[in-house]
Amino acid sequence: MSTLTPVERALEEARKAAARGEVPVGAVVVDGGTGEILAASGNRVEELNDPTAHAEMLVIREAATRIGDPRLEGCDLYVTLEPCPMCATAISFARIRRLYFGAYDPKGGGVDHGPRVFEQPTCHHKPDVYGGIEEKAAAALLRAFFRERR
């Protein structure tokens, strides 16, 4: 059994993603009642040749399959980067209870930046949102990854 917190596990998944040549974003879905990690992954866009294989999408799919329900009510999502609009919409559809994210993404984010998905009148569910969790560590991973590719 892992002794890592959900935030530490998400950062670990981001580091694994970077090692695979993926943008270093990691995500974890946790049962809010028990604290059990239901799913953990990093980005796999390149590996799977799937533009939707963002860490958040992967863990939402895995957690929903694991509990046998497309609605993850009572579950919390930890992710190292502010979710993009696609992932924010999936978070809403999944009825995630709380969203915790690390680095803010002024260019591609969809929660505090860009379309602010949860603030739209067409959004059916808005999770509680907590940004900036381990922001420095998450941002450092991203900066190092892109610096190496320039």
The residues assigned a catalytic role are 56
Give the C-alpha separation, 41 to 51, whole Å: 15
What amino acid is encoded at 123 in this protein?
Answer: C
Q: Which residues pair with 42 in a beta bridge?
A: 26
Q: How many residues does the chain have?
A: 150
Contact 77, 99 (CB under 8 A): yes
Q: Based on the number of CB atoms within 10 Å of its own CB, is 135 exposed (0-12), middle (13-18) or buried (19 or more)?
A: middle
